[in-house]
Amino acid sequence: MAIENILFDADGVLQYPTVHWQPALKSVLELEDETQVEAVLNDILDAETEVLESPTGFIERLEAKLAKWNRSDLVSATLNALHAIEVHADVMQTVQALRRAGFRCHVGSNQQALRAKHMSEALNYRSLFDSEFYSCFLGAAKPKPEFFEKTIAKLGCNASAVLFLDDRAENVEAAKRAGLNAMVFFGTDGALSLQRRLAGFGVFVDH
Q: According to the model, what pLDDT value does residue 25 have?
A: 86
> What is the spatial distance between Cα 134 and Cα 51, in angstroms, rounded to a whole number?
12
- Angle formed at CA 38 by CA 33 and CA 40, multiple of 5 degrees: 95
State residue 94 phi and psi, 5-degree precision.
-65, -40
Check whether 7 has a pLDDT greater than 90.
yes
Provide the mean pLDDT of the chain. Answer: 96
pLDDT in tens, 180-192: 999 999 999 999 9
Mean pLDDT value across residues 171-186: 98
Rounded Cα distance, 51 and 40, in Å: 17
Q: What is the pLDDT of residues 94-111, one digit of tens each?
A: 999 999 999 999 999 999
Output the pLDDT for position 23. Answer: 87
pLDDT tens for 20-71 read 888 888 898 988 888 888 899 999 999 999 999 999 999 999 999 999 999 9
Strand 104-109 vs strand 85-87: parallel, antiparallel, or unpaired?
unpaired
- What pLDDT is stored for residue 207 in this prediction? 58
At residue 201, the pLDDT reads 97
DSSP 55-100: SS-HHHHHHHHHHHTT-GGGHHHHHHHHT-EEE-HHHHHHHHHHHH
Residue 61 has phi, psi (to 5 degrees) of -70, -40
Q: What is the pTM of this model?
A: 0.96
